[in-house]
Structure 1
Amino acid sequence: MKHHLLYAAAGLAAVAFLPATAKAQDAPWGCQVLLCAASQNPSWQGVPYCVPPMKKLISAMAKPGFDWPVCHQAKAGEPGREEYEDCPAGTKVGYREHRDGFRGEPDQCIKTVDVCKERRDQGYRRFNESGGDRRCIKEVATPRPRRENPWFFDIPNDKGVKERFWFNLNT
């Protein structure tokens, strides 16, 4: 059990403060959360030691006034969250507009396409020389994929370079 955590935390500054004989269970709660969230193979759900501190975290998040437990020794701070994957190359992030006129979540990938290009390529000449009719340029939206692991910690490695560790809070 301890080996899973040590493998997950290998190279992380978070374990540097733990004496070799100390158990990860003795770490402060914020460090337990960080070590468990950084566990990649298996994820924290597959490490029996990690289940109690992570369930404690999930329960605490539902309460008013929640403050994320931080592992100050690791210099990682609070986690970030990115709900959506990056849009594919050649597209940009788009927002669906709500009925009230406000911009919604960045849940679209938008691609600008020339829907008349194929007709021009086939020799049709009814388009002007400046690149085509404005009616030919359309924006096509596709749903932006959601991340399986939307939470992340940026943890400095032993060289001070931050490495990103993605995780989820699904039980």
Structure 2
Amino acid sequence: MRPSLILVAALTGTALGALAGRAKAEDASWGCQVLLCAASQNPSWRGVAYCVPPMTKLIAAMKEPGFSWPICHEAKAGKPGRENYEDCPAGTTVGYSSQGDGGWRGEPDQCIKTVDVCRSPIERNAHTRQSGMTIERSFGNGHDGCIQQVATPRPRRADPYFFDIPNDQGVKERFWFNLDH
């Protein structure tokens, strides 16, 4: 059995055991229902009939003023986190495509790499066209502007929300999920 299925089964048992012997998952608190459904990986929560009502309720509640995320205290997972973007590839750093007034930076939606573009302009131009890179700025450090920062769009996560759920040894495992699909 896959480790994630074991974890979900353990969480179900923990949540249900804490409910003084009740045997139905439907009797779990809303926070535990959301946690169990969000942790469902294959299929995702949308493919589990039991999960559609509590997750639909969650999505509707998130639009209301004063929304507070339902917590499953028995699982010790807390509120979920959210990361909209994947990590940048090795050799690049996170960058920002826009900067507003007062030094405010927009979303960290770029991956930036500093390159020496004078080594092979033909190779650079071909690579720039193929990958959609845009050159942001040049530095004149004795190479007449050969050192440039190349930006690529940072990939968005398909599943931007996550729960860090402790397993039976207390080690947290991350479960990614999406509320849009």
What pairs up with 1:85-164 in 2 under 5 angstroms? Answer: 85-98=86-99, 100=101, 102-118=104-120, 133=143, 135-164=145-174
Structure 1, unpaired ranges of 5+: 1-5, 120-130
Once superposed, which parts of structure 1, at least 4 consecutive aligned residues long, lie more than 6 Å away?
none
Matched, 1:76 2:86: no
What pairs up with 1:24-103 in 2 under 5 angstroms? Answer: 24-98=25-99, 100=101, 102-103=104-105
Distance across 1 between alignment mates of 2:75 and 2:93: 35
**C-alpha contact 2:34 2:55 (8 A) present in aligned 1:** yes
**C-alpha contact 2:15 2:32 (8 A) present in aligned 1:** no
Q: What does residue 177 of structure 2 align with?
A: 167
What residue identity is the alignment partner of 1:165?
F
Aligned residues: 155
Distance across 2 between alignment mates of 1:17 and 1:50: 15
**C-alpha contact 2:15 2:28 (8 A) present in aligned 1:** no
Distance across 2 between alignment mates of 1:88 and 1:10: 34
Structure 2, unpaired ranges of 5+: 122-140
Distance across 2 between alignment mates of 1:17 and 1:62: 27
Instruction: Decide which structure has the larger Cα Rg and report it.
Output: 1
Higher relative contact order structure (alpha carbons within 8 Å, sequence separation ≥ 6): 1
Distance across 2 between alignment mates of 1:7 and 1:51: 21
Distance across 2 between alignment mates of 1:52 and 1:164: 23
**C-alpha contact 1:8 1:40 (8 A) present in aligned 2:** no
Distance 1:80 1:134, change over 3 A: farther
| Worse-superposed segment, 99-108 or 138-147 | 99-108
Distance across 2 between alignment mates of 1:11 and 1:31: 12
**C-alpha contact 2:85 2:156 (8 A) present in aligned 1:** yes
Distance across 2 between alignment mates of 1:169 and 1:36: 11
**C-alpha contact 2:100 2:106 (8 A) present in aligned 1:** no
Distance 1:168 1:145, change over 3 A: same
Percent of matched pairs sharing the same residue: 71
- What is the CA distance between 1:148 and its match in structure 2? 0.3
Output the TM-score relative to the length of structure 1. 0.82
What residue identity is the alignment partner of 2:46?
Q
Distance across 2 between alignment mates of 1:137 and 1:22: 65
Output the TM-score relative to the length of structure 2. 0.78
